[in-house]
Structure 1
Amino acid sequence: MATTSTQRFGRRLASSVSRRRLSSSAGEIAVQRSQNPSLNLCSAINQALHIALDTDPRSYVFGEDVSFGGVFRCTVGLADRFGKSRVFNTPLCEQGIVGFGIGLAAMGNRAIAEIQFADYIYPAFDQIVNEAAKFRYRSGNQFNCGGLTIRAPYGAVGHGGHYHSQSPEAFFCHVPGIKVVIPRSPSQAKGLLISCIRDPNPIVFFEPKWLYRLAVEEVPEHDYMLPLSEAEVIREGTDITLVGWGAQLSIMEEACLDAENDGISCELIDLKTLIPWDKETVEASVRKTGRLLISHEAPVTGGFGAEISASIVERCFLRLEAPVARICGLDTPFPLVFEPFYLPTKNKILDAIKSTVNY
């Protein structure tokens, strides 16, 4: 991933955000680009957490090292403003962090739990999939932990290796009862995180740590929410549909631009919410283009791209003009020095675009 490519993508997103209408508690508010400050994704997350704590006294932020700002500094300033009874450190025990969050949410609070790296969410897997996801169902809707939001930085970072670069979203997409959300940019991260915190369901919110400092765009200062489970067509085209989420969108955008130079018109969709995902938007696009390419950093086998592919083949079989393409991470542990070979790069995506269109 090139730094300049990511920054250019952020500026293009800022331009599109200025034309987009964002929902808020006061209704639809037109975003005026000239009135909004530029923030990176880390600062946008911080702003969303400030708003969540400020607007709801039942909200709490907790996790490893969050009281001084966390390793990525996303929670800096929160403890100073809201006090250490609402923003506090926990022991280094992910199972305990999520278990505590389930109990806190079950008592009617807004529990915002941070897992320091998505790679270390696995000790909490049982709590998430066997407790949080099933809490409402097993009680016949008498009780729930819908106020639980689990934040976790995920994906490549350039030097993380196999313990700090994983993309585990597909594991949680298999479990009914939780939602999985991944933003692509600062303005999206703020609006989607606020929506997650206020949603009546437990949610896993993966933050692309590669973009914490690199993605910069103008972000509305006010309190606003973006709808969950609604994909967004961020680039319209006629020849092939591309679907992705998170940091991969910037790479896919670069591939779309290069494909355009070769006369190929690409439609690019940001899924944003993986579960429940917006099948209708993707289906409508594929019915128009007749081709589909999916890209994500997670390994290709069992990745969420496989679910998208299967669903679209079922819905659009007679309209497809080529096999569905998947450009994803490799079926290996995430490497360190070989990271450039592992990741789904612009050139890999561009080659797949050409191959699919010329099938």
Structure 2
Amino acid sequence: MLLKNLLPSASLLKFVRMLLGIKILLKADSCEMKNLNERQIAFAGNGTPIARLIDFALTLKGINVKTVFVATDELDFFRRRYEKHPLLSIEDIKHIEKGVPKGRNWKTVYDYLISFNNKHLIGNDVLRNIRIGGINFHAGALPEYAGSYTYQWAIRNDEHTFTSTIHWIEGKTDSGPVICKKEFPISPSETGLSLLMRSVDAALELMYIVLTGIGTGRVLPRISQDLSKRCFYSMSKICESGMIEWDKTAEEVERLIRAADFSPLSSPTYEPYTYSPVGVLKVHKAKVGSQSPGVNAGEVVYIDNECVVVKTGCEKNLVITSLTINDKRFKKGEILETKLNVGDCFEANEPTIQGTQICE
């Protein structure tokens, strides 16, 4: 009653409208301020690992998943999973502005670019337009294991531990400052696939911590690498290294085979191979055996339907339990079908063989 007496009815209505307008403006300003405080992030990667990371990011305050770059053949899967977020093929990473609303300056939109399980190199032409920087997961200790497929090299080099590393994308490949890392033991039965999967799991734990820090406004560490210790493993080096050298020790040959074991998947790099009297022989499963009676490295000293036993460059032999000859697979219970015989010799020197490399 008091307010009605103070203001005419028309003025009262105008006054109420003004109050409502102020409330709406305050709400809009609050939303805009919230968006300004959020870190705008683009994600780039492939498969389930990047999906797990994005799922976690969507639960955090202070983070806005701005754009997701994935492999072309995965776009449909990610569209169903993240229908409210812009999705682009990872091949378009150099044209990152495609994920920015029309009329906006894309250079001010992205604070971070997170690369996880991503095989595409991100160049300086992209990074210079990310406000704070790019962050990458690398499977391997840095700087000692820079480059490609280092989890396979770690097995072959008889390492006893492996490291997942999160680092800034700067300078040469895998040479940027380290944010954090996690070291864990390599088991004696570790395969290329199992070590990769464990490395991804460890990296996800690290990246959850990194994303939480980003969301709360934390300044991330920048620990410089000692590049004098840098060792770079190239794609070509791993792809061209599948030939079995029988003058090596049984342990060395077994690690070569185990590092290429991605069963039930195919190796992404090489298949261990040799040359036998009956054709090109690729080894899938093997173990170190006991002392060998053979004379020559690469000589078949025993065979039954379960295995082929081959002399190596040391006292111990190699027991092969799964192999392919001329693209036909033989496993335990089928070995005698290979037509191999005791006394056959496998080539220790590299012959001209087609189809032993997987990657280019």
- What is the TM-score normalised by the length of structure 2? 0.28
- What is the TM-score normalised by the length of structure 1? 0.28
Instruction: Return the structure number with greater strand share.
Output: 2
Instruction: Return the structure number with greater helix share.
Output: 1
